[in-house]
Amino acid sequence: MKLYSLSVLYKGEPKVVLLKAAYDVSSFSFFQRSSVQEFMTFTSQLIVERSAKGSRASVKEQEYLCHVCVRNDGLAGVVIADSEYPSRVAFTLLEKVLDEFSKQISRTEWPVGSPATIQYTALDGHLSVYQNPREADPMSKVQAELDETKIILHNTMESLLERGEKLDDLVSKSEVLGTQSKAFYKTFPETEQNFCTLTRLRK
């Protein structure tokens, strides 16, 4: 079981803002880590952008699951994990982080914040602790309504896209991905040009 990233974002208008993120890309090739990290950021922003406020969802891509929680106030969190990681624990982590973040960071900072300006330092610690869900889960109180809430499961990233949209186009227009990452993306077959290229990058 593995957690790869934990992000806090704000679903604003007209775009989603990344406020803070933590990554564990140690299982990937050193030379590919920066591109993998950029694609994690791109994927997290895309999922939040296409998710409704007040919703929870999981997006499945082969051996990966992207869990997203978007609050009614626009604050959102995304966990990217392997498919073996318990979904309930991932959502418990998201609830914990979003609650903590909203108490520490003024709401006025959310629409204009960035990883460089937001003074919230707990993400790396949470990502590390929750790598072992069996140890982490008892440390947090699982809210009853969380278990009762229906979590939408999308089988592929493409299921989030609107009719006529292509992931290729979103990648080419992305401000998150650098030139090297975009070029790297194009080197893979079309059927794997999504977050699942991470499968091919592992050592």
Tens-place pLDDT, residues 82-103: 888 888 889 989 999 999 999 9
Domain residues for 8? 3-201
Question: Please, which contacts does 47-56 make with residues 24 or more away whose CB atoms are closer than 8 Å?
Answer: 47/78, 47/160, 48/9, 48/11, 48/16, 48/76, 48/78, 49/11, 49/15, 49/16, 50/160, 50/161, 51/11, 51/76, 51/160, 53/11, 55/152, 56/91, 56/149, 56/151, 56/152
pLDDT computed for residue 10 by the predictor: 95
- The CB density around residue 134, as the number of other CB atoms within 10 Å, is 9
pLDDT computed for residue 19 by the predictor: 94
- Output the six-digit token pair for 109: 């900072």
Q: What share of the chain is helix, strand, coil (3-state, %, to 5)?
A: 45, 20, 35
CATH number, domain with residue 48: 3.30.450.50
pLDDT computed for residue 27 by the predictor: 81
Q: How far is CA 92 from CA 96, 142, 150, in A?
A: 6, 6, 14
- The CB density around residue 139, as the number of other CB atoms within 10 Å, is 10
Q: Is 73 helix (H, G, I), strand (E, B) or coil?
A: coil
- The CB density around residue 13, as the number of other CB atoms within 10 Å, is 7
Into how many domains does the chain fold?
1
Q: Is 130 helix (H, G, I), strand (E, B) or coil?
A: coil
Separation between Cα atoms, residue 197 and residue 17, nearest integer Å: 24
pLDDT in tens, 171-195: 676 666 777 666 666 665 443 444 4
pLDDT computed for residue 60 by the predictor: 81
Pairing assessment for the beta strands 3-11 and 64-70 based on DSSP bridges: unpaired
pTM of the complete model: 0.72
Q: Is 200 helix (H, G, I), strand (E, B) or coil?
A: helix
Q: Are the CB atoms for 15 and 49 separated by under 8 Å?
A: yes
CA 123 to chain centre: 13
pLDDT computed for residue 43 by the predictor: 85
Tens digit of each residue's pLDDT, the chain (203 residues): 889 999 999 998 888 999 999 999 888 888 888 888 888 888 888 889 888 899 998 888 777 888 999 999 999 999 999 888 888 889 989 999 999 999 999 999 999 999 999 999 999 999 998 988 877 665 444 443 444 445 555 555 566 666 556 666 666 766 667 776 666 666 654 434 444 444 444 44
pLDDT computed for residue 122 by the predictor: 93
